[in-house]
Amino acid sequence: MRKKIVAGNWKMNMLQDEASQLVNDIIKEVKSTNDAITNEQEIIIIPPFPWIPDAVKQVDGYDNISVGAQNSYHEPRGAFTGEVSPEMIKSTGAEYIIVGHSERRSYFNESNEFLKQKVNAVLEAQLTPIFCCGEPLETRESNKQNELIEKQIQESLFHLNKEQISNLIIAYEPVWAIGTGKTATPEQAQEMHHFIRQLIAKKYGDTVAENIVLLYGGSCKPNNAVELFSKNDVDGGLIGGASLKAKDFIEIVQSFN
């Protein structure tokens, strides 16, 4: 049975005190709501780099709450001013790293080949990549979204073996639904998640495909999470803005119940 995951990507938000308070508030919400999280579910908190060590300490002892990073470089060490390696992130106690978020692809021109190197580095550090893929509005409007998603996945992931591909998470994020207030319909989300799972099945077989976790990332909020998460191939969400409010975030977690 695939684990149900809700990951909160804080992006470039929260000062130190605010970050600490938000983690505390998330923990309080989990404690106060008996059915907020089960053994089949996991919460991943993904703050900016400076707040990762504090977040790891705060969630220590909570088996179903983990911490991740929003990005990393593909080299383990060296003269790369301003970059952070997967090994550095691992040393903090974090367990996940987002790779290829649409903002990294767009603002920092990260190519499929570059993301391939990042995926390799994250796996080499024995961390779990959360690999993002998705299409902009013009691609969706020209009905070429499947072609683009297939290209992103093939060029960044299909060099991996079965064991490696089984140790990552894929997040589908329709770029046209991020920060715009628009959301893919549950049917659109399911259609793309099913397409991605079929791509994995063709390359690696049905068993690998059935066990890989696919998250939806695109303006997922408490008022639409229940319907999105009810779809067969949607295993949770990569949450942006709604992860900055503990109550909203935990309401999304509860959408599985």
Per-residue pLDDT tens over the stretch 185-216 = 999 999 999 999 999 999 999 999 999 999 99
Decide: 43 and 37 in contact? Cβ < 8 Å: yes
CATH number of the domain encompassing residue 76: 3.20.20.70
Per-residue pLDDT reduced to its tens digit, 81-99:
999 999 999 999 999 999 9
Confidence (pTM): 0.96
* pLDDT the model gives residue 238: 97
Q: Residue 179: give the domain boundaries.
A: 4-256
Residues 127, 220: Cα–Cα separation, whole Å: 25
* pLDDT the model gives residue 33: 73
| Total number of domains constituting the chain | 1
Per-residue pLDDT reduced to its tens digit, 10-66:
999 999 999 999 999 999 998 887 655 777 899 999 999 999 999 999 999 998 999
State how far the alpha carbon of 242 is from the alpha carbons of 106, 237, 255, in Å. 22, 11, 14
What lies within 8 Å, CB to CB, of 173 at 6+ separation is 101, 102, 132, 133, 134, 216, 217, 218, 238
Which residue among the candidates 74, 101, 103, 193 is catalytic per the annotation?
101
Active site residue 173: yes
Active site residue 74: no
Which residue among the candidates 29, 135, 173, 251 is catalytic per the annotation?
173
